[in-house]
Structure 1
């Protein structure tokens, strides 16, 4: 199913990149479109719209694989990880990315304790920010976590994770079908309900760029 890229990029620039679309972000979009068009299972463009919206959100609109920024302030730590840091601990850990990761992600997602270093080793990376030893193991890169930053591997993780439910057990087909279009609920594919309305709005804009009437 061909996508008119001239129309697509014109609409994306007008709706999502009003202050300019960088060459790197344009290349990232092009790579995702190419992967979609080469895939024999590319029937529902709403799936593509939500994939694009997820990458847009998770990378801060860069559309390139990135590493998680863990340089939190004291206030940021208390807001983002309220169960992991007391006020005194937040003051101590503030602006120390590696110790922050090791404490914030200790003992969950397959990670060891804080001293194991797993939190930092398996911090968020890629187009969808996979996090935790168990998730890296799922995608076969437990021994080479930086592989999540390789463009092709990052795209593979994004597509297979969202289509097959490899992140949370939820998949695109659970939310988009002949009888359903749940643009907000689809955030459960990645991360529960965090920023669900925002990602749903981005996805609708991408759907319109793909010539869908939503």
Structure 2
């Protein structure tokens, strides 16, 4: 049951400028990864809608202030360092994501190269490698492919299926889905709002 542009705009009203591009991309991705029932589609669209600011953002925004850096990554950004790199996204990424998720140390630039991309932010060398292998893409050399609507959607659907989120969606375990994507419950009110709309539209 593919989604129509009209349905997508009822679910994500702020996506009007990109809906036409994303409808075929989302339909292809959802069909390929088994996101094909109203329950699964509603949960998926709510999560990707929130994560991407209604399909507007397919690359992670790392333009943090010093105080936001300390709040988000307290162990990685002591006060002096936070002040030094505030509002410098590339430096922030290289420190925040250094020596994690398969990335090398800050000087390799891996943090910036493999920052969050796609509708569910794929982040880190290991995840780019796994996603690329699953989709048949060389994401280690061309990470920016995930900024294209078709691959932004496919990477999100791959992440969804490979993390067992269809089963959680079947059981309406929406909070558990958020935790698996986000690590916590950031933005849960907005996610729930979109989910409620999606369930209504797709019923």
The alignment's TM-score, normalised by the length of structure 2, stands at 0.84
How many residues are treated as equivalent by the alignment?
196
Once the two structures are superposed, the pairs formed by residues 129-148 of structure 1 within 5 Å of their partners are 129-140=121-132, 141-148=139-146
1:150 alignment partner in structure 2: 148
Give 1:23's match in structure 2, choosing from 17, 21, 41.
17
Which of 95, 106, 113 aligns to 2:87? It is 95
Q: Compared with structure 1, are the counterparts of its residues 127 and 35 closer, same or farther at alpha carbon in structure 2 (3 Å cutoff)?
A: same
Partner of 1:80: 72
Residue aligning to 2:186: 195
Provide the residue aligned with 2:135 in structure 1. none
Please, which runs of 5 or more residues in structure 2 have no aligned partner? 133-138
| 1:114 is aligned to 2:106 | yes
Structure 1 residue 182 corresponds to structure 2 residue 187: no
* Runs of 4+, deviation exceeding 6 Å: none
Q: How many Å separate the matches in 2 of 1:48 and 1:181?
A: 12
Distance 1:99 1:175, change over 3 A: same
| Aligned residues: CA RMSD | 2.4
Higher RCO (CA-CA < 8 Å; seq separation 6+) = 2
How far the C-alpha of 1:191 sits from its partner, in A, is 2.2
- TM-score under structure 1 length normalisation: 0.80
Which one of 161, 164, 182 corresponds to residue 162 of structure 2? Answer: 164
Q: Indicate the structure with greater helix content.
A: 2
CA shift in 2, pair 1:197/1:112, >3 Å: same
Preserved CA contact (<8 Å) 1:106 1:114: yes
Give unpaired runs (5+ residues) of structure 1.
Answer: 166-170
Q: Are 1:175 and 1:181, in contact at CA under 8 Å, matched by a contact in 2? A: yes
1:68 positional shift:
1.2
